[in-house]
Amino acid sequence: MAGRRLDVDLHETLSNVRSLYLLGQGGLADFASLKQVEIRVRAMAGFSNDSVGTQVMTDAFRLKPEFGPHTDPDAEGGVREAIMFLFRGAIGTFKNPQSHRAVDDDDPVLASEIVLLADLLMRLLVGSRRAKAPPESAAERLMALRWFRKLSPVAGTPQP
């Protein structure tokens, strides 16, 4: 019953991914979900379509010489780096191989986990304080703000 694994409210940009998954197209669902992450990161950062793959993640969450458009300047250095590697790693591990060669994608559980990872990445983008596009809803803004505060408490901010 792997189908129940995606019986959750996925980020609105991933609405078509569930149907691909339920049709037994786990590999296409994985690819489509992470492609949406890449597209959204690029668009919110204001980058051209020439910026692709892991490089767009590195540039969007850049640490030096100046912060990238998605880098949280209030986060601790290790957290900033980890967020960049989380996005870069997801694209490099699960999206790029499917872009360039045949990949064995018969495991529906792994496929659902990759879709859920893409969903998490989309929700983390909502908390990207320097991004150009506005978050989708007040609920998503609140969730993202709470998540970032747990990772990077600002002095004097009460923690839940």
pLDDT in tens, 54-67: 999 999 998 887 88
Q: Which residue did the predictor score with more confidence, 96 or 155?
A: 96
Of the candidates 17, 30, 19, 70, which has an alpha carbon nearest to the alpha carbon of residue 47? 70
Q: Work out the average pLDDT over 97-113.
A: 70
* Whether the Cβ atoms of residue 54 and residue 96 lie closer than 8 Å to each other: yes
In a domain, 132, yes or no: yes
Backbone angles phi, psi at 69, to 5 degrees: -65, -25
* Whether the Cβ atoms of residue 44 and residue 128 lie closer than 8 Å to each other: yes
In a domain, 158, yes or no: no
Range of the domain at 121: 2-151
3-state helix, strand, coil in the chain (%, to 5): 60, 0, 40
* Whether the Cβ atoms of residue 106 and residue 18 lie closer than 8 Å to each other: no
In a domain, 90, yes or no: yes
Amino acid letter, residue 126 = V
In a domain, 156, yes or no: no
Q: What's the pLDDT tens digit per position in 128-151?
A: 655 554 445 555 555 555 544 554
| pLDDT (0 to 100) of residue 155 | 40
Q: Work out the average pLDDT over 1-21.
A: 82
| pLDDT (0 to 100) of residue 15 | 84
Work out how many domains the chain is built from and give that number.
Answer: 1
Instruction: Tell me the pTM.
Output: 0.75
Q: For residue 159, name the pLDDT band (cuts at 50, 70, 90).
A: very low
Q: Which residue did the predictor score with more confidence, 130 or 156?
A: 130
In a domain, 96, yes or no: yes
In a domain, 89, yes or no: yes
In a domain, 157, yes or no: no
In a domain, 160, yes or no: no
Q: What's the pLDDT tens digit per position in 29-54?
A: 988 999 999 999 999 889 988 889 99
* Whether the Cβ atoms of residue 149 and residue 157 lie closer than 8 Å to each other: yes
DSSP-assigned letter for residue 66: S
Q: Which residue did the predictor score with more confidence, 124 or 102?
A: 124
